[in-house]
């Protein structure tokens, strides 16, 4: 039986000190629905998750931002956390990667701070700030 997201590729754009549950829970749901998820980060190796103020698990980076091509993905997910949104919001490469999804009308899921970044730094379609049709 085909799953709802079979064949869909989702980039997860994340940096150190992201809120772990904001990566693991949505990623598990995406994987269960058949999506292929890829962790994209500013650096290679591992990134540090956080459980509020406590260090959580470390996660393998699949592609660096320099290696990743947004056109190879169907959707984008940006986990929140204490530092992840700020780090990504101030990195022009990360902003350009994320802007591609909005510009092309592809699904994207971020947090309100990201939507504000797009409004301040370039075109943003808030109506597209949802994930795979869910608002």
13: in domain:
yes
Tens-level pLDDT at each residue, the chain (135 residues): 678 999 999 999 999 999 999 999 999 999 999 999 999 999 999 999 999 899 999 999 999 999 999 999 999 998 887 788 788 888 999 999 988 988 888 877 664 444 444 444 444 444 444 433 333
Q: Which domain holds residue 42?
A: 9-123
100: in domain:
yes
134: in domain:
no
Strands 54-60 and 46-51: antiparallel
pLDDT number for residue 69 = 98
Q: What is the pTM of this model?
A: 0.81
How far, in Å, CA of 34 to CA of 62, rounded?
18
133: in domain:
no
2: in domain:
no
Nearest to 20 by CA among 88, 79, 83: 79
């Amino acid at each position: 039986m085909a799953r709802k997201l079979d064949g869909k590729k989702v980039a997860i754009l994340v940096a150190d000190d992201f809120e772990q549950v904001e990566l693991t829970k949505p990623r598990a749901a995406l994987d269960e629905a058949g999506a292929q998820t890829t962790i994209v980060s500013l650096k290679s190796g591992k990134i540090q998750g956080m459980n509020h103020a406590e260090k959580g698990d470390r996660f393998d980076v699949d592609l660096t931002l320099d290696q990743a091509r947004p056109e190879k993905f169907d959707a984008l997910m940006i986990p929140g956390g204490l530092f992840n949104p700020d780090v990504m919001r101030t990195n022009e490469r990360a902003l350009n990667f994320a802007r591609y999804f909005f510009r092309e009308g592809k699904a994207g899921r971020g947090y309100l701070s990201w939507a504000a970044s797009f409004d301040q730094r370039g075109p943003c379609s808030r109506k597209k700030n949802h994930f795979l049709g869910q608002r």
